[in-house]
């Protein structure tokens, strides 16, 4: 199984995937390419250090959003990607990309969807909203990507307690630890053919 990973930042979830593949936790899989929409994304350096092709595709180099996404799709096809993983990718994929990989694009989100998700909810903004609202439990969600924003079928979720003395940084750190467990687990289940999508529900087989 050839995996294409899209990133925008430091690439810690990318690192978790690379480590899981190296350890044999995700069998019969390899990361074929890492693509970033930001030159400064440290995840590109992580990929290069691992011998993985790493490319940067910038939105500003294209006339519109569709052309930008088409360029990403072309590179995914060039590398023969079977599964796309969004590992901290802070851009919305076009319908053309989503339709090209039906139920083959996985995203990780730092909350328990459908809470604190959708347009405008990403990164530290999610954790700030969680703290401002005063909820006692947050967490992380891995889901398939559809043409909405954080609206695709949910694969896995795991809770994280919100502590009385949490700030954005401390909460984000604990949620990130869970992300590093959850994303490789979801990718492993996909690679092993153990995920069945039935409408809005994802059944884990076996």
Q: CA-based angle 151:154:159, to the nearest 5?
A: 110
Rg (CA), the chain: 16
The per-residue b/e assignment along 2-16, b for 16 or more CB within 10 angstroms, e otherwise, is ebbbbbbbebbbbbb
Kindly give the interhelix angle for 12-22 and 168-191, rounded to the nearest 10 degrees.
40
Q: Which of 50, 109, 127, 180 is catalytic?
A: 109
- 109 in catalytic set: yes
Residues with catalytic function: 109
């Amino acid at each position: 199984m050839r995996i294409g990973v899209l990133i925008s930042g430091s690439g810690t979830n990318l690192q978790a995937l690379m480590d899981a593949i190296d350890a044999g936790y995700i069998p019969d899989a390899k990361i074929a390419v890492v693509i970033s929409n930001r030159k400064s994304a440290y995840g590109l350096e992580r990929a290069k250090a691992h011998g993985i092709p790493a490319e940067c595709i910038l939105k500003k180099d294209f006339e519109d959003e569709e052309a930008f996404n088409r360029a990403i799709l072309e590179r995914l096809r060039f590398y023969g990607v079977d599964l796309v993983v969004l590992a901290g990718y802070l851009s919305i994929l076009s319908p053309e990309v989503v339709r090209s990989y039906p139920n083959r694009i996985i995203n990780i989100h730092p909350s328990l969807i459908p809470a604190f998700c959708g347009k405008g909810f990403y990164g530290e903004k999610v954790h700030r909203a969680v703290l401002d609202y005063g909820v006692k439990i947050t967490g992380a969600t891995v889901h398939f990507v559809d043409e909405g924003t954080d609206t695709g079928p949910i694969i896995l979720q795991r809770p994280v307690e919100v502590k009385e003395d949490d700030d954005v940084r401390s909460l984000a750190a604990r949620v990130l630890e869970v992300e590093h467990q959850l994303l490789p687990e979801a990718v492993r289940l996909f690679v092993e053919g153990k995920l069945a999508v039935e409408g809005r529900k994802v059944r884990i087989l076996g």
